Amino acid sequence: MRGALPLVALCAAAAAVPAAADPPEQAPRPALERARDGVEEARRLIPFEIHGFSEGALGWLPDRNRLIRNHSFNLMEGRVQLQTTYRPEHPAFLPDYGTALAVKTDFVGDGVEERFRVEFRELNARFTPLHWLDVKAGRQILTWGTGDLIFLNDLFPKDWVSFFVGRDDEYLKRPSDALRVSAFSGAANADFVLIPFFTPDNPIRGERLSFYDPLLGRIAGEDSVLHFNRPPRTMDTMEYAGRIYRSVGSYELAAYGFKGFYKQALGVDDPAAGDLFYPRLTAAGASARGPVPAAGGIGTVEFSWYNSEDNRRGRDPSVEPPQLRYLAGYERDLWTDFTLGLQYYVEQMLDRAAYREALPDGAPYSRDEFRQLLTFRLTQRLFSQNATASLFVFFSPTDADFHLRPRFGWNLTDRWNVTVGADLFGGRHPYTMFGQLKDDNALYARLRYSF
């Protein structure tokens, strides 16, 4: 990362210093062209290759939300991302093992939080000690499973705030500090992940989005007093995840296992103090993906069993109960550059009778045994695939709520991209996943320059 700060400084200098005087008969060079040349010159001074982007993003709330920090905007930031991969050549055994050091860092000026922050999204080393074994250690993005914005066996941390305020979909996945070992063979491939330090989802806290506070029994914003108590950092709280997968003909099959914690604080420790905790979780599942006979297109099925270890019999309504989760998906190109994607997702609460019996009198709501969710994705590529118009819809017939995600992205040039879109929410009840966000409807725009 020694080259990161000089790069930023050189870029700023290149944009600020006027170009050398041109002959009278030539027009002055545009400022953007001078800035671009400055970036390229700065990159040539760095002993290894650096890529990234700079981006400005704005999310506007047409209906002001007075419960959150900024009543009119939930996204207002400038971001520079720098990434590089360094492959050392000495000592000699390092290149022999395919050693590589990867860094991806975001520098963010946040107008909503009124502060500057640095986010290390990747900071890891990877190498291949054997021809059939890969190892990656350090901060990295972990993901697997077949769902499209629905996660069953992918129990790695997410950032739902970024997802709901209009940041790029890349920021839905939070990084983990982990050791990942991947083994390959003719019979099957396997991944093993050890996560020594627990990283939760980035929860909705009321700063950018208002939400249903179960202890207050109403929609809350910055006035929420919930406390999210993480498990202590001990040997006993390390997390483990594994996957075995292989191809059979045209089909991809996988089995998954996980032992750790829910990534959302789904347990109540002390209602009076607003203390929530992350229950222990053991999970196992499987998936399949491949062509659908006769109908064409690609189909997916996925299944997972969640064993809530702090509430195995489902008799404690203050802790997430055990569940079975199911997903079926289908995707197909209907015509040139147009893709349709459909998913049907179900959560089944186990031992619901025990849950109902333990539910206290006067509880604001009772959870159904089954929660169903349908998703639709429509994608049309335009202008020789330089532009993309898409619509993603979440709709739950059991919760009677929805989330609409229309978006239009246009590559103005090879380096410039503009994206506009919206996050629209609605629902019959304030305590459902999308119904709680009905006051957070927003329009957003992002302008990005990649280098």
Q: What are the structural domain ranges in the chain? A: 1-50
pLDDT of residue 21: 47
Rg (CA), the chain: 24
Residue 39 pLDDT > 90 = no
User: Across residues 292-314, what is the average pLDDT?
Assistant: 95
pLDDT of residue 42: 67
109: Cβ–Cβ under 8 A, 6 or more apart, which residues? 77, 78, 79, 116
Q: pTM of the entire structure?
A: 0.88
Each residue's pLDDT tens digit, 343-356:
999 999 998 888 88
Q: Would you list the DSSP string of 242-291?
A: EEEEEEETTEEEEEEEEEEE-SS--EEEETTTTEEE--EEEEEEEEEEEE
Q: What is the mean pLDDT of the chain?
A: 92
pLDDT grade for 357, boundaries at 50, 70 and 90: confident
Token pair belonging to 62? 């047409």
pLDDT grade for 34, boundaries at 50, 70 and 90: confident
232: Cβ–Cβ under 8 A, 6 or more apart, which residues? none
250: Cβ–Cβ under 8 A, 6 or more apart, which residues? 290, 291
Each residue's pLDDT tens digit, 80-89:
999 999 999 8
Give the closest residue to 374 by CA, choosing from 146, 163, 145, 150.
Answer: 150
Residue 393 vs residue 358, higher pLDDT? 393
